[in-house]
Amino acid sequence: MDRERKIRVLATKPGLDGHDRGIKVIANALMDAGMEVIYTGLRQSPEQIVETAIQEDVDVIALSFLSGAHDFLFPRIMELLKGKGVDDVLVIGGGIIPDEDISSLKEVGIAEIFGPGTYTDDIVKYIKNNLKR
């Protein structure tokens, strides 16, 4: 594992949801923790997200969602990643996601879900401890 390089994170908003306060706060916190953050802005289709992740060669994808479409969009992104043979990127999610949905999201490969009230420091620690490459 080459850790000379900074940890590269794709921070993104899949779907049509416009609530970007959380993801921007996290993007700032990850940058303050020394990571390199590529923030895509709003309204990214699953295809765009996967393409950007590959092009930018990121170690982590951080998905934020508050409008309830995580049940469709998160699995779709995992499916596309798998289809492209990407299996060494840590994918995490956050936003308004009911606890009862978390196990099915983990089953498709989302490593962790961070809900309201999470400390950004905990996300930084989690990323550092769980990188897949």
Partner 1 sequence: MFDDKKIGEIREGYRKWTDVLEARLAKRPERKGDFVNTSDIPVERLYTPLGVADFDYMRELGLPGEYPFTRGVQPTMYRGRLWTMRQYAGFATAEDTNRRYRFLLEQGQTGLSVAFDLPTQIGYDSDHPLAQGEVGKVGVAIDSLKDMEMLFDQIPLDKVSTSMTINAPAAVLLAMYIAVAEGQRVSSKELRGTIQNDILKEYSARGTYIFPPKPSMRIITDIFSFCSREVPQWNTISISGYHIREAGSTAVQEVAFTLANGIAYVEAAISAGLDVDEFAPRLSFFFNAHLDFLEEIAKFRAARRLWARIMRERFKAKDPRSMMMRFHTQTAGCTLTAQQPKNNIVRVAFQALSAVLGGTQSLHTNSMDEAFCLPSEEAVQIALRTQQLIAYESGATDTVDPLGGSYYIEELTKEVFGRAQDYIDKIDELGGAVSAVEKGFIQREIQDSAYRYQREIEKGERVVVGVNRFQVEEESPKDLLRVDPSVRVSQMERLKRLKSERDSRRVKDIVSGLKKAAQGNDNLMPIILDAVRAYATLGEICDALRGVFGEYQPVSTIG
By CB under 8 A, name the binding residues for partner 1.
11, 15-21, 24-25, 27-29, 31, 37-39, 41-43, 45, 67-69, 71-73, 76, 96, 98-100, 115-117, 119-121
For residue 126, the minimal CB distance to partner 1 (Å) is 15
C-alpha–C-alpha distance, residues 40 and 34, integer Å = 19
Q: Which lies closer to partner 1 via its Cβ, residue 85 or residue 110?
A: 110
For residue 1, the minimal CB distance to partner 1 (Å) is 25
For residue 15, the minimal CB distance to partner 1 (Å) is 6
Q: Which lies closer to partner 1 via its Cβ, residue 36 or residue 109?
A: 36
Q: Which lies closer to partner 1 via its Cβ, residue 79 or residue 87?
A: 79
Euclidean distance between the first and the last CA atom of the chain, given in angstroms as a whole number = 6
CA separation, residue 46 to residues 12, 49, 50 (Å): 10, 5, 6
C-alpha–C-alpha distance, residues 52 and 47, integer Å = 9
> Among residues 12, 26, 104, which one has the least CA distance to residue 61?
12
Q: Which lies closer to partner 1 via its Cβ, residue 57 or residue 87?
A: 57
Segment (H or E) for 4: none
